Each structure stands twice: as C-alpha cells, then as structure tokens.
Structure 1
Amino acid sequence: MKKLLIPILALVALTSYGQNPAPAKPQTKAIALMGGTVHIGTGQVIPNGVVLFSNGVITNVVDGTTVRLNLNDVEVIDVSGKHIYPGLISPVSTVGLQEIGAVRATVDMREVGILNPNIRSLIAYNTDSEIIPTIRNNGVLFSQAVPQGGTISGSSSVMMSDGWNWEDAVLKKDDGIWLNWPTYLARDFNFEDFTTVVRKNERRGAAIDALRATFADAKAYSALTNPTPMNLKLESMRGLFTGKQNLYIRADYGKDIMEAVTFAKSLGVQKVVIVGGEESHRVVSFLKENNVPVILSELHRLPTREDEDVDLPYRLPGILHKAGVLVGLSYSDGWWRTRNLAFLAGTAAGFGVTDREEALKMVTSNTAKILGVDNLVGTLEKGKHATLFVSAGDALDMRTNVVEQVFIQGRKVNLDDRHKRLYKTYKDKYENK
C-alpha cells in the first residue's frame, strides 16, 4: 500500500503545480495604494495619488500631496514610483471559449446554424482556462466573451478575469447580439502563393433578405408584453429595440459599414457598434453623423488594399478619434494574444493619438462606454469597482509594463501563470548546467 501511495502523492503534487491559482478571496479590509502615478482613465493623471477602496468599491481617489486621509484600520501599500491603472477591457474576445485551437474538445465558441440570436456565450465561459492568468498579468482584467460563426452568432457577455465559474465571473450578461454582415466582396486566401483573391459575393442578396425577415419578426415580437408561447430566438433580440442591448456588426469594407448601419437603423435597432472597421476611415463622416462607435480589429497588420500606406492600420485609431468617433481596440483574431492589448494602445499613441491618456481610454473607458459597463468600470473613480492594477512602468510600453499587483473588485489576485512557471522551470534547468 505504501509503494502505491508514493507515486499517487507525486502525481497529485505535479498536477497541483500545473493548475491555475484559486480565485482571490473577498476583500476584508480597506486598502490604500499610496504614492503612485494614478491614471484615472478619463485623461486625468495624478502624479502622487492615493487610491482607497473598501468592500470591492473605490471610496476615494485623491492627490496625496494636497489631501490628508484617515488611514486608521486601513492596509497601506506603498507604490511610490509605480503606475496605477484601471483594468483593461478586451472586447471581441474568445478568451474562456477556446483553449487550444487545434483541439476541438477545448473549443466552444460557435453553434451550428446560420441565425442563432438565442445562443449565449457566457455559459460556455471556462474560468479554469490557463490563458486567463496570462492576460491579467498584462493588466487585462475584463474580456467580452463573443460567439462566432453564422450570420447571427448569438449574444456576448462581459466577464471578469477571476472567478470560480461563469456565474462568479460575469460582469454584464448578454450585453449585445452579434451580426456578421454579408459582405459585398468576399476574400479567399490562396495558400499556394499566400495571396488574397477578392471576388463578388453572390450569396449576399439572399442572406440580407433572411436577415430583414428575422429582424422584422423580432421587432414585431418585441411589441408583445407576454407572448405565449415564448419564441427564444426572437425573445433574445428584444433588447435591441429598447436600447438595452447593442447590435455588434462585423463589417470591414466602407460600403458594407454604411449598408449595415442603415439596415439596422431602418429596422428600429437603438444601438449599433461596428466591429473590425478596416475601412472605417473611408466612412468616418457617416459614422460620426450616426453616432456609431467602432471597435477596431488588431492594429498590428498590413492594410486591406495594396495601394494604402503600410502604416494605415496604426494610424486608424487617431483618424477616427480626431473625427469624433468613439473608438475601442481589440485583439479579435487571437485569444492568446489578448495579453498584448495594452500595446495596441501604445501603437495608437505613437501614430496619431498624440495624448497617451487618450490612447489608454481606447482600452479602458471608451470600451466600457461601448459595452455599457462604464457605470461600474473603466475608470478609477469613487463608487466604481476596485478593479485595477499596479505596473512598474508605463503599461502601454511592452518594455516597462511589469504588472506587480492586481485587484478585481478589491480582491488581490495571485499573479502566477503558466508562462511564469515554464520560465522558472527552464531558467533553473539551464542556469544549473
């Protein structure tokens, strides 16, 4: 029996070593972060600030050189020389919905069918994902779990980067419905010579007709108070016509963006958000006039057209911002690359968004406004959730973004992750040779 027990204990020890840290325990004592540079998320910076929070809520943010606080029964943490930021928000994300792209059993982000507004992404959200600790180690403390596939993919939810299960992690349920707009032009990638072939989309007309019928049915259904029997697909779209939910439209070409927004507005949709927007600079006046925000896809890419400036994707946030369009940034193509979200804002700051605090807003307060959670998070202000992080340097610069402390609703989060464990393993191996 003893011989059998030893390998079992060894296996348990190895398994526990590879697991994510347990979710943080609730805040039990008021905490004051003292002396750091506080980036509020509104554009304001307090060089020698104090952030005080209790029971998971920010109770004060002040200039430590001019205001004295009663710090009795408060845990004081000196962060002098460091920077305090609101938690970064990653929209258009599949974090928690897929783990290893090549392993089907770990991918749960799409449903069969074309029109699936009733699909809810949050129930598939896996809080045990090993990717989640890696993104919060770069300050990404929220992600929008977004369904994929079909023409209407389903509804997204805003999730926190800490929790035992999706019920613990969810910040806002079913914040919006996702629509993949049928494109005027279709792009096919040729793997033989790595070129992209652009052709006319012959199925576009039939797809738009089906969408028009679905939205018309949903609008009529939304006028009913207690429909019997309940239609789950149409019920899930009710919030689009009351302003409770966003309609997120994936569209890149300028023509598609204009048609998609016009389509949604004509059918009574209250809030429209363009996602992707690779050619949004071509219709910037239209977006401004219709008060349509844009969540841009990753900036670290080549331009859509061969005749465009090679740095156009880098400059795109600045172009939209200067025109008065509300801009958010995303890393929609790679769930594991979400950890680099802050550096997209850094790129924007270097290519047209001259104020770094404005660039920061594109991954904090701007995104919070777009997702409808700005009353809870996105800035470091009294009454909002104490979800923030402390970095050794500028969070938008990959050379200095070293996250040292993370708090989610006041809970101090363990910053261990798989990357750090593997680094230590191989560092020890090669240093001891």
Structure 2
Amino acid sequence: MKQLTLSILLLASLSGFAQNPAPAGPQTRAIALTGATIHVGNGQVINNGVILFDKGIITAVGDGNTPTNGAEVINVAGKHIYPSIISPASTVGLQEISAVRATVDFQETGYINPNIRSLIAYNTDSEVIPTIRNNGLLLTQVMPMGGVISGSSSVVQSDAWNWEDAVLKADDGIWLTWPGYFARSFDFEDFSVSLKKNEQRQESINALKATFSDALAYAALKNPAPKNLKFESMKGLFDGTKNLYIRADYGKDIIEAIKFAKQMGIRKPVIVGGEDAGRVIDFLKENNVAVILGPMHRLPTLQDEDVYLPYKLPGLLQKAGIAVSLSYDGAYWRTRNLPFQAGTAAGFGGIDKEDALKMITSTTAKIMGIDNVVGTLEKGKHATLVVSKGDLLDMRTNVIEHAYIQGRHINLDDKHKRLYHMYREKYGQPDVGK
C-alpha cells in the first residue's frame, strides 16, 4: 500500500509540473521557406532552396528562383531543411516511467496475440513525445512487445489530441519474436552477458507453425463465420498489405525465420535487430528482405569482432543493396538520439550523410509503406519537415528551430527545456541556448 501511495504521488508531481503544449491547428495559409539548404531525403541536396506548402501538402520544391506565389515567406537562410525523421520499432507513447507499472502499456498477457493493437494504447499526452520532436522526430512507429506474436504496430504523428488524430497508418504490420537457439541472460552484479540454450524453442516453433497455418487457411475463406479476431488481424500478411516484423539477431536465426515466413506465404518479412545481418548479406539480398537495425552504439556481438562493426554494419548492408533502417528497438527515451546513429553510420560505414539520412527517412518510409506521403520532400507529399540550425545528424548542430506536421507549425516546448530554464534561473547562470 505504501509503494502504491508513493507511485501515485510521483505521478501527481510529474503531471503537475507543467502541461505539454496544445496540438497545433491546421495550416491556414500557404508558407514558403526560403534560403535554406534542402535535404530532400533521396540523396538530392538543393542549395539556397525554396519549399512551398499549402493545406498541409508540399506544392513546390526548388532553387532560389522558385516563385512563392503570394505565400507567407519565412527566410531561413543558412539553415537546413529535412524531412521528418521516422522512428521505427519504438514504444514512445506506450510507456512513461519504466518503474511505474501503471504507465507501461506495450505488452499484453499471453504468447500469441496478433490481434493486439498498440495504436489504441498510444498516449498523446506523454512527456517523452515533445522531447523527441526537438531532435527532428515527428513520426514514430509504435510497436507492441512481449510473447512470441506481440500484436500490430502503427505509424503515428507526434502532435495530436488523441490516437485517432495521431495515426498516419494503422496496423502496418504484425510483430513476431523468433524463438532462437540461444537466450541471453544479463548479470547485474558484474554486468556480464551469457548465453544459454533455449529449452522452449521447438515448442514455440510448433505453436507458430500451427497459428500461421490456421491463419493462412482462414484467409482463404470468403466469408468466415464466426469471425476469428486473431486470424482476421493476420490476413494482411498473406496479401502483402502488412509486414511481418521478425525480431532476430543471430545469423542462423535470421535465415531460419525468413525461410519460415516464406514457407507460410508471408509476402513482406522484415528483420528487426539483425546484429549478425552482416554475416547473411547474400541471403537477405536474395530474398529481398529489409532490415531494421537495433541500437548501434554498442559493443559487437562476439569478442573477436571488429569493435567498430556495429557502426559499419548499416553501410555494409546499404552498399549491398539491402533496404536498411535504424532504430532503438524499444528504448523509448533513447529514441531522440536516432539521428546521431545515422551520423555514426556515415562516419564509419563508408557512405555519405545523404545516404545515411535515407536510413531514417525515405528507406524507413518505404519499408512501412508510407513513402507515398512522407520520407522525402517532394511535391504532393505531406509537409512534415524540420528546419535545423545545422547538420541534423550531428549532435553539436542539431538545433531544431521550426517543425511542421502536415503544414501545422509545431510548438517545440518540452519538459527538458522547461527544466533547463528553471534551474538556469535558480542558479543565476547565463542562458547559452540564446
């Protein structure tokens, strides 16, 4: 009872500190951003560029000679314009304080839950959401976790009153954790990681085979009665309208998981995590399988591997012709550092920054099936973009000065900024942010 009381007091103190800014209203007049360097997101860079958007849609992108056609002109000379970063495999908005169970809502009980929808648990009032906007992340794929089949993810916008307003693409894919040969255990006393045999592996695989076989047979029925909610949610896997996101790290597990997906008639398997993806590049390319890598700022999987291998891996995959995206795979607070993972990939992977930018914009959009509306700054797409003081992929110059979601000018206030100003004033320190 004492612990519950403390938790309630903690939540009350956090929520009472300040409120998130209200979501922005719809765009009311055409806007032209002029004079900036425009990073389109497909590798193209436009110096001294102009981008126009009206009613939330980009109407023109070009050089300094592009007519503004009576739009409100905002001079952003010397700045950089980027498409919104898209954060895949995230639990932002699904958990607030890891130690407080009442604020964690990314997992359901049970092991086979394809019908669970993370979208309806998305909390638009989360204090975490405004903090990631300030590093250029305006779009997030919120995913479920837990069990073998966790449920479905959705792509949301980071400025909305509720999940209905936030959704950009609902139920884009089902999440599966492949039962590998080995399971990791972490020792909190000496911080060591050890491997042990996964004793439940075959049992889990048998359950997966039974579930997917039944779902495939169900999908072939024209008018099933009664409807099975679990199998209804899996229909899109067999006609290609949904991805199957498979968490797998070791090379042998990656190969086995992809073979399983192909045997079950899955059109679009996507590997998530993929620590050993560099060992199975030919297999991934042969099967046209995209990879969403997990956190890069880590040590390599094996002790005798190149210590910089995690930094080089995105470049190795991209140069091999594999669609590669970057993520923090559920580490919700660290999501804000996603652009700096792309910067690391450029620095160590033998690719330029525009190619690294694709890994968190256009390639991610293509994997999720939203590249028709976001991912690049092109005419006809959503005006979901950011204006940065400098290089978005460099933590020293990633300073977001303007952000727009479908043309709506977003308030960039957040809890971190409020705390900074409060304690700066308390201790009489100069405001270095001005």
**TM-score tier (shorter):** over 0.9
Name the structure 2 match of 1:37: 37
SS at structure 1 position matched to 2:190: coil
1:160-309 alignment to 2 at 5 Å? 160-309=157-306
Is the CA contact (8 Å cut-off) linking 1:300 and 1:314 kept in structure 2?
Answer: yes
- Note if 1:46 corresponds to 2:46: yes
- Please, what is the CA RMSD of the aligned residues? 1.3
Partner residue of 1:145 out of 138, 142, 147: 142
Q: Distance in 2 between matches of 1:364 and 1:288?
A: 21
SS at structure 1 position matched to 2:404: strand
- Note if 1:56 corresponds to 2:44: no
Name the structure 1 match of 2:324: 327
Cα offset for 1:17?
6.5
Q: Distance in 2 between matches of 1:128 and 1:432?
A: 31
Cα offset for 1:193?
2.2
1:319-358 alignment to 2 at 5 Å? 319-358=316-355
Q: Distance in 2 between matches of 1:116 and 1:17?
A: 37
Q: Distance in 1 between matches of 2:375 and 2:429?
A: 45
The share of aligned pairs that are identical, in percent, is 68
Q: Distance in 2 between matches of 1:172 and 1:122?
A: 10
Cα offset for 1:309?
1.1
Q: Distance in 2 between matches of 1:310 and 1:70?
A: 50
Range 300-309 or range 146-155, more displaced: 300-309
For 1:69, the aligned partner's letter is P
Q: 1:383 to 1:403 in 2, by over 3 A?
A: same
Cα offset for 1:143?
0.6
- Note if 1:408 corresponds to 2:405: yes
Name the structure 1 match of 2:378: 381
For 2:257, the aligned partner's letter is A
**Which digits, 9 at most, give the CA deviation of each residue in 1:7-35, with x for residues without a partner?**
xxxxxxx9787000000000000000001
- Note if 1:372 corresponds to 2:369: yes
Q: Distance in 1 between matches of 2:215 and 2:240?
A: 14
Cα offset for 1:200?
1.7
TM-score, normalising length: structure 1: 0.95
SS at structure 2 position matched to 1:37: strand
Name the structure 2 match of 1:6: none
**Which digits, 9 at most, give the CA deviation of each residue in 1:252-280, with x for residues without a partner?**
00000000000000110000100000000
- Note if 1:98 corresponds to 2:95: yes
Partner residue of 1:76 out of 73, 76, 89: 73
For 2:130, the aligned partner's letter is P
Q: 1:166 to 1:322 in 2, by over 3 A?
A: same
Q: Distance in 2 between matches of 1:194 and 1:30?
A: 55
SS at structure 2 position matched to 1:237: helix
* Contiguous gaps of at least 5 residues in structure 1: 1-13
TM-score, normalising length: structure 2: 0.95
Is the CA contact (8 Å cut-off) linking 1:301 and 1:313 kept in structure 2?
Answer: yes
SS at structure 1 position matched to 2:96: coil
Cα offset for 1:186?
1.3
Cα offset for 1:432?
6.8
Is the CA contact (8 Å cut-off) linking 1:298 and 1:333 kept in structure 2?
Answer: no
Partner residue of 1:312 out of 309, 312, 318: 309
Count of residue pairs the alignment pairs up: 417
Q: Distance in 2 between matches of 1:183 and 1:354?
A: 32
Q: Distance in 2 between matches of 1:40 and 1:114?
A: 42
Q: Distance in 1 between matches of 2:360 and 2:112?
A: 30
SS at structure 2 position matched to 1:241: helix
**Which digits, 9 at most, give the CA deviation of each residue in 1:167-205, with x for residues without a partner?**
000000000000000011111112222212212212111
Cα offset for 1:290?
0.3
For 1:391, the aligned partner's letter is S
Is the CA contact (8 Å cut-off) linking 1:23 and 1:163 kept in structure 2?
Answer: yes
Superposed structure 1 runs of 4+ greater than 3 Å apart: 14-17
